[in-house]
Structure 1
Amino acid sequence: MGAWHLSSHEYIGDMLRLIADSAQGRVLDFGGGIGTHALGAALCPQVEQVIYYDINPINRDFVEYRSEKMGLDKKIVFVFEMPEKEKFDTILCFDVLEHLLDPSQQLLQFYQALNSDGKMIVNWYFFKGFNQEYPFHLDDPKVVEAFFHTLQSHFLEVFHPYLITTRCYRKQSLI
């Protein structure tokens, strides 16, 4: 994961710029990996607190170590379970949705957890690859179609100028 981040530094840089432009208040980093985005969010003055959630204990320990070294350990909270019934001003979720059995259900959980004026910054890659190089990615057409239907019926995309696959959304009022 670290090697990919190093080889994709321009892409990651634009993701961090998008986070700096959009993140505020209480931030949930869902599936935070090695913590680049959680740490970037914690560095933003408009961010009060980052809740870092990842099921991998090695990642969690590594990010906790990094946050201490950067002096951000008071701003980042590490949790072992997805926070239930908590509200967030910003939700980050990168390279996770394509690994879930039901990504639509996760979008609905994000919708419930996001404050009315909050933003969700996400990306996904529903593709196993031309030669199955991403065997753990979901690519079932029915599940992917359901995902996009859920996304489009609950969220509106917020324009940003960065040429990356990461997107920013706000809640859509359900009628």
Structure 2
Amino acid sequence: MSFSTCEPRSLPSSLVKPLDDNNRIINLIAEITNQPVEIVRQNLEEEELCLGSKQIREFHDQGLLPHVWSEEMSEFYKNTDAFLYNLVVWNRNHIKLQMRDWIGKYLNREDSSCLDILCLGDGLGIDTLYLAQAGHHVTYYDVPGYTETFARRLFRDSGLVVNVVNDIEAISQEFYDVVLCLDVLEHVSEPPSFVAEIAGYLRFGGRAIINAPFHLVNENHLTHLKSNQKYSGRLDLFTKQGLHLVDGQLGWNPIVLRKIDQKAQLPSLWNLHLWGIRLVGLYIAMTTRIWANPFLWTTHNKE
């Protein structure tokens, strides 16, 4: 898909509607899940008190093995409505709001034009909607299920044009200026292969914006894979696919990598901010071997 016109707009609030409206959220989830409004309200209240509570309960009820990829876990992703609650709460958590705001400002600072952006694994579609409201041309991808249904409803109600893809084979190669992939890699069975796919979607010079808390393998994050902890803080996961660090937040939430085909295009070795990000990555990599959560201020549970 290509676009011939573009009308950039000022940045919207990172608290994307309807995240600021509990009643609308509850009614929307009730419609999607065919659950009574009061049950939905109770589930959401429990989720606000303990992020992941419904997911944890259902995971244990089904006797699934935590932190290990399996076909049963794959089916769990497709069939549970628990991620609706989990992702509503996470998307209005102050850490995620700050991350979304940083991404919007970064893209505005780096390029004032409209960008072709792929939001890969965007769940409820909140980041997709935010970037569409900011005037970009956005493609949403996630696997079919409750969260994708929720996202489609948001896009329809917004009146904005969003390209929705639920077949990963249909995503255009070497087309996107930006691929946004937040809180996905820690869930996948083969992160290097997934990163290679991300690189394949980008034009040369395009950027991948990634947040992947590989270190969060605990009772609150049962679908984060233990086998992926070894990627915590490691840039070689990305450089092997031609993606090189160009910016980001010191806490790696997120980092920005550019698809580069010539060494002459690499960022300056004298960039102190990038050295800071690299050093924090080394810290995360080393301490992940000792603690399950070495970097407390990036966790999803912080209130």
Q: Is TM-score (shorter-chain normalized) higher than 0.5? A: yes
Alpha-carbon distance in 1 for matches of 2:221, 2:140: 25
Alpha-carbon distance in 2 for matches of 1:161, 1:96: 18
Match of 1:36 among 105, 113, 126: 126
* Residue 116 of structure 1, CA deviation: 0.8
Which residue is 2:65 aligned to? none
Alpha-carbon distance in 2 for matches of 1:30, 1:93: 5
Aligned counterparts, 1:83-102, within 5 A:
83-86=170-173, 87-102=175-190
Q: Structure 1 vs Structure 2: percent identity of aligned residues?
A: 21
Equivalent pair of 1:18/1:160 in contact (CA under 8 Å): no
* Residue 70 of structure 1, CA deviation: 1.7
Aligned counterparts, 1:134-145, within 5 A:
134-140=221-227, 144=231
Aligned counterparts, 1:62-141, within 5 A:
62-72=150-160, 74=161, 76-82=162-168, 83-86=170-173, 87-129=175-217, 131-140=218-227
* Residue 124 of structure 1, CA deviation: 0.5
* Residue 10 of structure 1, CA deviation: 4.6
Post-superposition Cα deviations, 1:48-86, rounded to whole Å, max 9, x if no partner, equal: x211111142212211211222221x2x01111113443
Equivalent pair of 2:191/2:228 in contact (CA under 8 Å): no
Alpha-carbon distance in 2 for matches of 1:151, 1:68: 35
TM-score (structure 2 length as normaliser):
0.50
* Residue 40 of structure 1, CA deviation: 1.0
Say whether 1:158 aligns with 2:246: yes
Post-superposition Cα deviations, 1:99-153, rounded to whole Å, max 9, x if no partner, equal: 1010111111111110012111111111353x543221123268627x7423133
Equivalent pair of 2:142/2:166 in contact (CA under 8 Å): yes
Question: Which stretches in structure 1 are left out of the alignment for 5+ residues?
Answer: none
Q: Evaluate the alpha carbon distance shift between residue 96 and residue 149 of structure 1 in structure 2; reply closer, same or farther with a 3 A threshold.
A: same
Question: Which stretches in structure 2 are left out of the alignment for 5+ residues?
Answer: 1-86, 109-113, 264-303
Superposition RMSD in Å: 2.6
Which residue is 1:22 aligned to? 107
Q: Alignment length, in residue pairs?
A: 168
TM-score (structure 1 length as normaliser):
0.81
Structure number with greater CO (CA < 8 Å, separation at least 6) is: 1
Kindly indicate which of the two structures has a greater share of residues assigned to helix.
2
Of structures 1 and 2, the larger Rg is shown by: 2
SS at match of 1:159: strand
Kindly indicate which of the two structures has a greater share of residues assigned to strand.
1
Alpha-carbon distance in 1 for matches of 2:163, 2:121: 14
Moved more, 63-72 or 115-124: 63-72
Alpha-carbon distance in 2 for matches of 1:9, 1:67: 23
Equivalent pair of 1:102/1:143 in contact (CA under 8 Å): no
Which residue is 2:255 aligned to? 167
Counterpart residue identity of residue 34, structure 1? L
